[in-house]
Amino acid sequence: MRLSEIYKPVGEKKTKTPISYEIFPPKAVDENAEKQKIETLLKELKILKEFNPALISITYGAGGTNRGSTIELARKINTELELNIMQHFTCVCSTKNFIENYLKEIESLDIKNILALKGDPPKDCVTVEQDFSYANELVEFISQNFALDIAVAGYPEKHPAALTLQDDIKNLKQKITVGGCAIFTQLFFENDNFYRYCELLNEQDIKVPVVAGILPVSNFSQLGKMAQMCGVVLPSKMVERFEKFQNSEEDTTKMGIEFALNQCEKLIEFGVSGLHFYTLNRAHPTKEIIRCLS
């Protein structure tokens, strides 16, 4: 199913808010260990399948570092689980030729949706040729040459490299103008920032669906690093609540479920286009949240 068939704009009436899961291709020291991890991931996805996800999004290593394992995982999810896929794809450190070949491979798997990204250059990408500087150029190239529905990334609290949120939204608008048909957001913990973002998008006449990125927190120390890396606001009240339980992963996970559930309930009330869960390849927290939402 295509993005354009799944999602409705923010505020538009929906019978049910679509949910989706982000996963990443597991890495391991050797091939056998990797196969094992993929099997474990497929089992986790089987658990989450009962909630009828609109799609599974599979991350991509910028520069094509995990190209093979990404394709293999997409193939398995497609054939063994029959779940709809949105493949992430980045253009940094990649030539047009490489991009074209990869996208042909994606289409040959009967994948209909792609999340077109710039990506952050991997450390070892110093002198590699690259044909596109920003995601909008990739979006334009895909929409002119492929029959894929294209999603783009949005940052309710601003992309770390942008000077202002207004600048960032201007750049986002370019991605929509040249073919982006849905926005998937960076994770956030302050719903008010998401509501404000949707207002600003509306003011800029950006009317495509906006799907909210939700991270069920399960590890407090990793959270700080992740938030800093992504430029995400950690509300002080949230930090106070999680700090109390930081030595217990079980309690942190429970608190993370409760926090994300509350976020999701309010987002649904607001009329969000969809909820996209950053699962970190684990079914349990996301399953508990969706079970309570159903």
The residues binding ligand FAD (CB under 6 A) are 59-60, 62, 88, 90, 115, 117-120, 134-136, 153, 159, 161-162, 167-168, 171, 174-175, 184, 186, 213
Residue 288 bears catalytic tag: no
Q: Find, among 55, 51, 57, the residue nearest to 292 by Cα.
A: 51
Closer CB to ligand FAD, 45 or 187, in the complex: 187
Q: How far is the CB of 205 from ligand FAD (least distance, A)?
A: 18
* DSSP characters over 116-154: EE--PPPTT-SS---S-SSHHHHHHHHHHH---EEEEEE
Name residue, tokens 């409705």. 8
Closer CB to ligand FAD, 17 or 136, in the complex: 136
- Residue 89 is classified by DSSP as E
Q: How far is the CB of 73 from ligand FAD (least distance, A)?
A: 12
* DSSP characters over 153-215: EE-TT--TT-S-HHHHHHHHHHHHHTTEEEEEEEE-S-HHHHHHHHHHHHHTT--S-EEEEE-
Among residues 12, 22, 80, 100, which one is catalytic? 22
Structure tokens at 239: 């930090």
Q: How far is the CB of 138 from ligand FAD (least distance, A)?
A: 8
Closer CB to ligand FAD, 67 or 254, in the complex: 67
Structure tokens at 34: 């990797």
Closer CB to ligand FAD, 90 or 252, in the complex: 90
CA gap 292, 167 in Å, rounded: 38
Q: How far is the CB of 19 from ligand FAD (least distance, A)?
A: 15
CA gap 240, 171 in Å, rounded: 35
Structure tokens at 72: 């293999």
Q: How far is the CB of 23 from ligand FAD (least distance, A)?
A: 10
Closer CB to ligand FAD, 159 or 266, in the complex: 159
Residues with catalytic annotation? 22
